[in-house]
Chain A
Amino acid sequence: MRLIDLPEGVSLDHTLLEKLQEGFEIRKRYFGNTIHFHSPGFKHYEVDDFKVSSGPKFVDISITGRHCELMCDHCASKILWHMIPATTPEELIKVGEELKKKGIQGVLISGGSNKDGVVELMPFLKAMRYLKEELGMILTCHVGLVSKELAEGLKEARVDAVLLDIIGDDRTIAEVYKMPHKGVKDYETSLRNLKEYGHNIVPHVIIGLHYGKVLGEYRAIDLISDFEPSALVLVVVMPYYGKAKFQLLPPPKAEDSAKVILHARKRLPLTHVVIGCARPAGEERFKLDVYALHAGVNGITFPAEGVFSYAKKMGLSPVVSQNCCSTVFMPQWS
């Protein structure tokens, strides 16, 4: 394994790097040297070696504004705060038309969940179809639990990809998500419903979701691997987003996250595995991103400073995209 110079003060676990090599070999075998770096438009992102200068092309819309009934411990609805609100179908159409005029090519539609973990998208399906068919936008949708009815509706809305967080432990669903009446089986059913209607699914796994500890992540990945996802997005919990008691907790160590990433790479050798936009900031982010490169991920969103250069030194060929990383499997959009 070729070792590459690291920034001063950063040290990596070399035993772990040797183990991650297996993931890198998988990515080389099935995906060659291409590595995707994403910079979607909801955030200005500029570090020494990575910056997208042109205006945003892909943005997020929330159908509930900042409101979420669940108010999970790890998020407390803050993930919605940067999204563009469109809380009625009419407003969604208007927002879509305005975005189109500004040159936006794609949108992610999401929102807060109700107490049953469902993002109530049913009233918005016709408006979503308008965005897809009349405005020609790429349309992704980040949902909660999915019934057959919603899966069918999303198909009729011609959604390009359905994104959903998969949780692999009932304790996390009960304690962090406040849904003791739900379980892993409900997430499995959601995946099944979506596949039954022929959706491109892009499951997300949040590493460290159980108060900073790795608990159900391996099971979640195993579960996802049974449903032929179009891509898998891995993110890491960000304690400063959460409720007060969550903010005091350390996120999982980059080394522990790297092991989860390697597991995903091995379970899904032919599927795009990408690192999403949510993960802790600062120096730990650099370590995580470098481990992820060594573990053979296909892409990284908002790469930490130095990671773009590091990837090139590894012999990888970067492709920069302004779209959401969940579009990585769509050749014309990635």
Chain B
Amino acid sequence: MKPAKFEYYAPQTLQETLEVLAFYGEDARILAGGQSLVPLLNFRIMQPSALVSINHCQDLHHLALEAEDIVCGALIRQVEAEHSAVVSQSCPLLAAALPWVGGRANRNRGTVCGSLAHADPLAELTAVATALDAKFMLASVHGRREVLPEEFFLGELSTCIEPGEMLEAVRFPAVGADATAAFVEVGNRQHGFAVVGVAAQLEYEPDGRYRRVRLAAIGVGSTPVRLEVAEGILTDTYGDMATVKEASHAAAIGLEPPGGFHADAAYRLKVLPVLIERAVKQAHAARYEQKEH
């Protein structure tokens, strides 16, 4: 229950960080919040030669609206994003999902980018990134590249981050003030792992018609699943009950969720439409609560 030995680095700049990563290649891991990584180290499931702590790297601590995106640097803690006015105004889905990401002690230290880079198939933020077509900014000493969720998430705990590379920041598309969102999940405990979770964000025409619908789920695949069929059914509608139900049930067709310790595939397929319905209704209701104020 104690980690194996490692060399420890605490670079002060992004450039230093990248140089250490280049030196160690796949033998180094980034240490940010450590909430996902350190349990693996404590159990010796992972034994990297070097740990590169970005906790002292102010270059990576930025969260701001830049043109059409909210840019979230690698050192932004989940709790910072949760309390950010920029996030609540311009990315309501991220704001809605964050309270579900573990308990307060985990969110105080865990980072937004860290959760994404770890790519646990049940991580709520992976559904958010997938639903929103977030852009993943990868950096190494050789330069930068930007990838989309379908290229980033390769499988359970697996991303396209190459040895020597790190996730420097994530860009979430900004939406207007009247967009609403919801995140719902079922799981053993409020702060435990999700069994299935659904992220929903709605953007509206002035008359309330759904101009754009973004939906994604965790727990129904080894990576987060974008629910495009359901999105298609709901777009350009007013979100009436029948359409929401139709979309929810259509979403499950063709999916082959993994079995798992907490729930089998059949359960996941059964629960998914229920959660989609709830998420859409909740997001929808939030618009009308907004309008009342």
A and B part of one assembly:
no
Which residues of B are in contact with A by a Cβ distance under 8 Å? none
